[in-house]
Chains A and B, each alone.
Chain A
Amino acid sequence: MRIGVILRPALVLLLLALVLKPAWFAPVFAPLVPEGTPVIYARSSLLSLSLSHLGLVAAATTAATLVAVTLAILVTRQAGEAFRPLSRTITNLGQTFPPVAVLALAVPALGFGAGPTLVALFLYGLLPIFENAVTGLSTLPPTTMEAARGIGLNRWQRLVQVEVPLALPVMLTGIRLSVVISLGTATIGSTVAARTLGEVIIAGLLTSNTAYVVQGGLIVGLFAVLIYDALVQLEAHLVRRAGG
Chain B
Amino acid sequence: MIEIDQITKTYNGVSVVDAVTMTVETGTITVIVGTSGSGKTTLLRMINRLEEPSSGEVRINGESTRATKPHLLRRRIGYAIQGHGLFPHHTVARNIGAVPKLLNWPKDRIRTRVDELLALFSMDPEQFRDRFPAELSGGQQQRVGVARALASRPDLLLMDEPFGALDPIIRARAQDDLRRIQKALGSTIMLVTHDMEEAIRLGDRVAVMDSGRLVQHGTPAEIIAHPATTFVADMVGDVERPLRLLSLVPLSEVVEDGAATGDGLPADASLRDALSSCLWTGRTAVPVERDGAVIGRVTLDAIRARAELRA
Contacts and interface: CB of A to CB of B under 8 A. Distances in A.
Contacts of B48: 150
B74 A243 contact: no
B133 interface: yes
Interface residues of A, number: 22
Contacts of B82: 143
B81 A149 contact: no
Indicate the member of A147, A165, A241 with the most B CB atoms within 10 Å. A147
Interface string A207-235: 00000000000000000000000000000
Interface in B89-107: 89, 98-99, 102
Interface in B66-124: 71-76, 78-79, 81-89, 98-99, 102
A165 B94 CA distance: 14
A161 B99 CA distance: 13
A153 B71 CA distance: 6
B102 A243 contact: no
A35 interface: no
Contact of B89 (A145, A147, A151, A166): A166
Interface in B114-166: 132-135, 145, 148-149, 158
Contacts of B85: 141, 143-148, 150
A222 to B, nearest CB: 33
A143 B76 CA distance: 20
A131 to B, nearest CB: 22
Given A143-B81, A144-B86, A151-B98, A243 B133 contact: yes
A42 B158 CA distance: 73
A157 B158 CA distance: 22
Nearest to B69: A154
A24 to B, nearest CB: 46
A152 interface: yes
A162 interface: yes
Given A143-B85, A243-B89, A243-B134, A149 B99 contact: no
A108 interface: no
B181 interface: no
Interface of B: 48, 50, 71-76, 78-79, 81-89, 98-99, 102, 132-135, 145, 148-149, 158
**Top 3 closest pairs, chain A to chain B, by CB:** A243-B134, A147-B85, A152-B75
Interface of A: 141, 143-154, 157, 161-162, 165-166, 241-244
Given A149-B50, A153-B98, A161-B87, 12 more contacts: A143-B82, A146-B50, A146-B81, A147-B81, A147-B84, A147-B85, A150-B48, A150-B81, A151-B79, A152-B72, A152-B75, A241-B89
11 contacts: A143-B85, A144-B86, A147-B86, A150-B48, A151-B148, A152-B71, A152-B76, A154-B71, A166-B89, A242-B89, A243-B133
